[in-house]
Amino acid sequence: MVVPLAGGVVILLLGLALNAVEAWWRGGFRQWLQVEAAVLCLYLSLLAAVFRPASLAVTALCLFWYLAGSLQGVESGRLARLGVALGTLVESIMQLLINTISFVRVGAFALAHGGLSLAFVIMAGATQNVVAGFLILLLGNVIVILLEGLVVTIQTTRLVLFEFFIRFLRGSGRMFRPLPAPRETVDLRE
């Protein structure tokens, strides 16, 4: 279960890093450093707190960093802005932690794969006929491979779309306008 969890952390961190690159490209890297980098630091410090509870001190510093960055440039309505910033932070961190935990599901599918394979081995061993046992093993392995292929395809697509891309893709940009068709036709026989 630790391997898919670590893989999930790496994928989420890659998405957050691509968010930083996107901020650089659009000219908003300073804003990213003030707010989003603090969220990244907070996420890392919470993950580190699982292994070293002393890293919660870093979490407090990241929280201060986030709040200071969120209030940067706000002259009036600071209390309202602070409430919005705290709500946004709680939502972002909860989303990151839940997305991290959702990668454990991939490990659970590996355990289910092992259990289903074991069931077919037990069924094949229970028969007295060698040919029937072989056919049960063959058919069982085909079923397990097909089910795992389906599950892996669905889960990978879901994890990439909803836990990875949302970190850096935005629904903005310029409208796609295809080039107009040429006005003149060219005779290719010439």
Which residue intervals of the chain are DSSP H helices?
Answer: 2-26, 29-31, 37-51, 56-71, 78-102, 104-126, 130-159
The rounded distance, in Å, linking the Cα atoms of 170 and 187 is 44
The rounded distance, in Å, linking the Cα atoms of 32 and 16 is 11
- 27 in a structural domain: yes
Q: Are 3 and 154 in contact (CB under 8 A)?
A: no
- 32 in a structural domain: yes
Number of domains in the chain: 1
- 119 in a structural domain: yes
- 50 in a structural domain: yes
Closest CA to 93 of 53, 46, 159, 60: 46
Q: What is the pLDDT of residue 135?
A: 94
Pick out the chain residues at pLDDT < 50.
none
Size (the chain), residues? 190
Q: What is the pLDDT of residue 190?
A: 62
- 188 in a structural domain: no
- 128 in a structural domain: yes
Instruction: Look up the domain containing 58 and give its range.
Output: 2-72+79-167
The rounded distance, in Å, linking the Cα atoms of 38 and 27 is 18
pLDDT tens sequence across 99-146? 888 888 877 887 888 888 899 999 999 988 999 999 999 999 999 989
- 6 in a structural domain: yes
Q: What is the pLDDT of residue 164?
A: 76
Cα 51-53-58 angle, rounded to 5 deg: 110
Alpha-carbon distance values, 179 to 51, 77, 176, 182, 186 (Å): 56, 48, 10, 9, 17
Q: What is the pLDDT of residue 138?
A: 94
- 185 in a structural domain: no
Burial zone of 99 (CB within 10 Å; 0-12 exposed, 13-18 middle, 19+ buried): buried
Q: What is the pLDDT of residue 80?
A: 84
Q: What is the pLDDT of residue 71?
A: 84
The rounded distance, in Å, linking the Cα atoms of 147 and 108 is 14
